[in-house]
Every structure is written in C-alpha cells, then in structure tokens.
Amino acid sequence: MTKRYESAPTEWDCRIVRSDIDKNGAPRTERLTLPLDGLVEYWGQSYAARGPICASITANIAGGEDIMARVEVEGEFSLPCSRCLAETGLAIRGDMRYLFTLRRGFEPSGKKGRGEGGEGDFPDGDVDVIRLDLYQSEIDLAQCVWETLILSLPEGVLCREDCRGICPICGADKNERECGCVLDGVDPRLAVLRGSME
Ligand SMILES: [Zn+2]
Ligand SMILES: [Zn+2]
C-alpha cells in the first residue's frame, strides 16, 4: 500500500533544543536524513519519493531571544511528464528561513518580515515569522521542512525539453512515432508548434 502525504510524516523528528543554540550567535547546524517512502500530493499531482529527504537546519540567536532557522532540503522524486506521461526524475532543492520570536506585534506568517523598508524587515530576503512560547524548550521544525520541500516542487516536469507529447486523437506517443493524425484540419506539425506556444 503506497502512502500518500499531504503534510510532514509523523515520524520526522526535526526538533531543535533552544538551550543548545549558542547565546553569542554562533550558528548550529543539524543535518537530518528524513525517511520518505510514498507519494507527496501537491499541485493536484503525485510526486513519488525516490529516497529520503536530506535536510539541514541551521539555527542561531538573532537578537534578543529570537531564533533564526534556515531550512535547506534536497531530495529526488519522479512524476509523469506533463506532455507524454513518461515517469521523469526530478531533483529538488529548497531553502527557506524562519524566525521564531517571543515578541508580540509580529504578524503571523511573516507579513512584516517581507518587503522593503520598515520595521521588522530583514535585509537578507523573505523570512516567515513564527511565534514562540516563553516556556517552549524545543522547536519542532517538521512543518517548516515540509513547507520548504513542497514549495520547491515544480508544477510540472518535461521528460525532455522538446517532448512532443501524446496524440490526442490516437494516443500514440509522438516521441516514438509520427502517427499522422490531423487535428482540426491543422497539420499535426503545426499543432505541436501551437501547443508549445500556449
Ligand atoms: Zn514527455
Ligand atoms: Zn495520432
């Protein structure tokens, strides 16, 4: 039975202990190999994992008691080619930053952390801001790792740049043979061109 995932697998352990992070600002990196056996459901399609996800979480104190965590992920997937449906390999790489803060006044999900200028802005790009509880000794980054992963998945993939797709009339794989079907009275070679411009 193939597993289908729409959120982080429950067995992913991506916790960091707040007291392990250096008070003087030195970053601490954890490298994790996260099992993923099954299909990731996103963009209305299924991405088949070809192995575990390699994640690296680098956390440092970012002023006061805020903790900045950079989440990087790498993984291999396969999914059907958008034109001919041939199973196609896909290597993904994601990189996101999250700021965990005790401070009030931050909009959830980083609205104040984005854009240019103004308070709460970060010079080094987009940051999602997540509220932290004072008594929270650990931070669980499993959903952050998951988000970094799915946001790096492309909407579609082509088996090759010039994939000619499947004939909508006879179902032939046009990468393998030219079937000669005529689409709407249009020469099939022109139809291919027209399709690629849409
Ligand atoms: Zn293809
Ligand atoms: Zn055909």
Per-residue pLDDT of 93-150, as tens digits, reads: 999 999 999 887 665 544 444 443 334 445 456 789 999 888 889 999 999 999 999 9
Least confident of 15-24, 108-117, 160-169: 108-117
Determine the distance separating the centroid of ligand 1 and the alpha carbon of 42, expressed in angstroms: 20
| 60 assigned to some structural domain | yes
Determine the distance separating the centroid of ligand 2 and the alpha carbon of 184, expressed in angstroms: 12
Both 121 and 185 in a single domain? no
Please give the Cα distance from 38 to 46 (Å, whole number): 9
Both 60 and 132 in a single domain? yes
Both 177 and 121 in a single domain? no
Both 94 and 179 in a single domain? no
Q: Please identify every residue whose CB atom is under 5 Å from ligand 2, which is an ion.
A: 167, 169-170, 172, 179, 181
The ligand whose atoms approach the alpha carbon of 175 most closely is 1
pLDDT tens, residue by residue, 55-100: 999 999 987 889 999 999 999 999 999 999 999 999 999 999 999 9
Three-state secondary-structure class, residue 13 = coil
Determine the distance separating the centroid of ligand 1 and the alpha carbon of 83, expressed in angstroms: 5
Token pair recorded at residue 31:
């490298």
The pLDDT assigned to 25 comes to: 86
Q: How far is CA 82 from the centre of its chain?
A: 18
The pLDDT assigned to 191 comes to: 58
The pLDDT assigned to 184 comes to: 72
Q: What is the mean pLDDT of the chain?
A: 86
Both 88 and 185 in a single domain? no
Confidence of residue 1 (pLDDT cuts 50, 70, 90): confident
Determine the residue type at 132.
L
| Max CA distance (Å), the chain | 72
Determine the distance separating the centroid of ligand 1 and the alpha carbon of 135, expressed in angstroms: 52
Determine the distance separating the centroid of ligand 1 and the alpha carbon of 39, expressed in angstroms: 20
Print the domain residue range for 93: 4-150
92 to each of 38, 55, 96, how far by Cα in Å?
16, 12, 13
Higher pLDDT, 190 or 27: 27
Determine the distance separating the centroid of ligand 1 and the alpha carbon of 75, expressed in angstroms: 21
Three-state secondary-structure class, residue 190 = helix
Determine the distance separating the centroid of ligand 2 and the alpha carbon of 194, expressed in angstroms: 16
Both 128 and 35 in a single domain? yes
The pLDDT assigned to 195 comes to: 61
Both 13 and 89 in a single domain? yes
Q: Determine whether 108 is exposed, middle or buried from the number of CB atoms within 10 Å of its CB (0-12, 13-18, 19+).
A: exposed
